Structure 1
Amino acid sequence: MTPEDKQHDDLWSIGQLAERAGVTVKTVRFYSDRGLLPEAARSGGGHRRYGPDALDRLRLIRSLRALDLPVPDVRRVLGHEGQEGQEGHQGQEDVLEDVIAGQLKDVGSRLTALRWREAALQLLTDCTVEERAERLRLVGAVTTPPGTAALARFWRCWLPARLPSRVVAAVVDRAVPVPPDAPTPAQVLAFARLQDFVTAPCFVSGPRAGTDYGQPEVHSSGKGYRPAVLYEGLPEAFELAAPDVRAGRAPREGEALDCFVAVHAAALGRRDTPDFRRTLHRMLAAEPRIDRYWQLASEVATPPAESPQPTPGSTDNWLRAALSSYGAEDTYGRVHTPT
């Protein structure tokens, strides 16, 4: 035994540390080579020697790795190991909490992907041979977990040009459904159909005012329309109408319709009069519709066993139906104006 070996009698060899920790020598060497498990010294023959504190550190490393934390995250946590005082302990706790939160998010994402895959496979199982090819095409275009970039892109393309970014963001936030974490097969199919709908050539090439599935006339520039006023004000009208839509009440006059008409009047630079309401009814009736989008968005957001929740599309339809009484004619051809 060399003098250096006698000096390190209280230290452990790599084999002794591995035995005490219940791991292989290869494992200890792996963590040591990556700087996670510093050696205390080297023997005269160049062999690694570790102090007793290495056992606790190795156990901590194994616990972190058992949670599937990658080596860089383990290194972040261990960066505060051995720092004295409350500050060092708190620093390690803060990093550990941050790392665990990130790992939870990653696991949640993977679980969501598996649930979507499971529901998609069930969807392909519970169908006829004739349906399977079409369903396979639809779900094959959906990532797992699904993304909503195509839906957001559709709205940014469909909305009028030069709309303030904050207004665009608010519209997209309300219009794009959040994919459920644990979808039913029906919700997977609805989302796949919705994505297929917004990526159709007529949308990808850019909608145009006055065409099928195109933009409303209010989106046109140079006609005195103020679409920013329209899209900033409509959410209030939708919120006022939502309780009636949720309860299944028939369209009617009231505060929601008054707000709806007032917003359109402000966007068109007009006053809310019976004549304007008749004009607005005719204008809205002639606009292109994207009811298919709203139907599918509602199916994505609502499990089959639950009642559909109001969407901007369903509340807009309810308000248009309430407005339609201003376009009704009696048997003598006179326009009926509600009292």
Structure 2
Amino acid sequence: MDDDTSYASGSPHSIGELARLTGLTVRTIRFWSDTGVVPPTDRTPAGYRLYGPDALARLGLVRTLRELGVGLPVIRQVLEREITVAEVAAVHAEALDVQIRTLRLRQAVLRAVAGRGSTPEEMELMHKLATLSDQERRRLINEFIDSAFEGLDVDPGFLASMRSGMPELPEDPSQEQLDAWVELAELVQDEGFRAGIRRAAEDQTRVWKESGRPDGERTKRVAQAIKERSEAARQAGIAPDSPEAGPYLDELAAVCAEISDREDGPEFRAWLLERLETGNDPRYGKYWRLIAVINGWALPDMEPATEWFTAAVRASVRG
């Protein structure tokens, strides 16, 4: 007689009978039996295992929990009433959330690699960037800010705004947010970008030493004026290098001259153009666009206005 000997209806089940009734393999049932989750209730005279009437129900529960990823030690605790199915479900649901998040991050990396034709080294770097924790992401951005502005007399309010704009991936980020994070992480580690941001900060610091730090509210009003008047010109279809741009440019140049304690004129506009070109790295706007995408913020819209204003000043200076 072997281990799958059949017995009459109502009698204890052999492993073979349980396999036929459940669709599980004899090997699987024997393994679960050896681990104690479905223990035999008796033995035949020849020493083969027999299972009681509750074995079918236990096997059904064990199979379900195993398909959900629950380990046999935990399943044994459930069957022995040490923990409840609800408690197990809660823990494993949370674990699945982490796994799903990890898979989405991996998907973002693979899509980025496929789209860029990345080398193996670039793929490894992107994978590391995508799998950083929230704390590690903050550390990366803070390290970039420290590197760009350390030792400079930068406006504390500006630094505060930089540090407040941390990338915060939601629990269930979209593919766009994941792609934006990978791109942002690459950007802040780009030495050229860091150097450009620092040059702009150094130039601003030098200007402040020459003419004094402008009042924060006045600076906001200037920015608002540039946004509104440049946007009005753009909406009217006025090119920055056209004669029609003159009145808009004169108004904005006068505002900038006032805040800088200077007089508008050719010399001032040449000075203003140098300031605008030094501080107008398009990657800085990209930095904030990526932060906005990651955090689900409204996209910043200052960049088009600044570009129009800079082009208008350039056309005025260079004739």
Q: Aligned partners of 2:33 and 2:121: how far apart in 1? A: 50
User: Which of 145, 150, 172 lines up with 1:158 in the alignment?
Assistant: 145
**Contact kept in structure 1, 2:196 and 2:281, CA below 8 Å:** no
**Contact kept in structure 2, 1:12 and 1:49, CA below 8 Å:** yes
Residue identity in the other structure for 1:146: A
Pair 11,294 (structure 1): closer, same or farther in 2 beyond 3 Å: farther
1:92-119 deviations in Å (ceiling 9; x for gaps): 2132133134224414532553365246
Q: How many residues in Structure 1 have an aligned counterpart in Structure 2? A: 246
Whether 1:214 aligns to 2:210 is no
Q: TM-score, normalised by structure 2?
A: 0.51
Give the superposed CA RMSD: 5.6
% same residue: 20
User: Which of 178, 190, 204 lines up with 1:200 in the alignment?
Assistant: 190
Q: Return 5+ residue gaps in structure 2 as ranges.
A: 2-9, 210-215, 234-255, 263-270
Residue identity in the other structure for 1:295: K
Aligned to 1:21: 22
Deviation at 1:27, TM superposition (A): 0.5
Task: Give the secondary structure class of the aligned counterpart of 1:142.
Answer: helix
Correspondence list, 1:64-213, <5 A: 64-67=65-68, 69-71=69-71, 75-81=73-79, 83=81, 91-111=84-104, 113-114=106-107, 116-118=109-111, 120-121=113-114, 123=115, 132=117, 138=122, 141-143=125-127, 146-147=130-131, 149=136, 152-159=139-146, 170-173=164-167, 181-183=174-176, 188=179, 194-201=184-191, 212-213=196-197
Q: TM-score, normalised by structure 1?
A: 0.49
Pair 181,139 (structure 1): closer, same or farther in 2 beyond 3 Å: farther
User: Which of 310, 316, 320 lines up with 2:299 in the alignment?
Assistant: 310
After superposing on structure 2, the runs of 4+ consecutive aligned residues of structure 1 that deviate more than 6 Å are 134-137, 166-169, 176-179, 279-284, 318-321
More helix by share: 2
Aligned to 2:48: 47
Aligned to 2:35: 34
Deviation at 1:59, TM superposition (A): 0.9
Structure label with greater radius of gyration: 2
Deviation at 1:286, TM superposition (A): 8.8
Deviation at 1:302, TM superposition (A): 5.4
Q: Aligned partners of 2:162 and 2:289: how far apart in 1? A: 21
Residue identity in the other structure for 1:109: T
1:221-274 deviations in Å (ceiling 9; x for gaps): xx9xxxxxx9xx9xxx8xx98xx89xx9569xxxxxxxxxxxxxxxxxxxxxx9
User: Which of 283, 290, 293 lines up with 1:292 in the alignment?
Assistant: 283
1:186-241 deviations in Å (ceiling 9; x for gaps): x95x76654443223467xxx6xxx6332735999xx9xxxxxx9xx9xxx8xx98
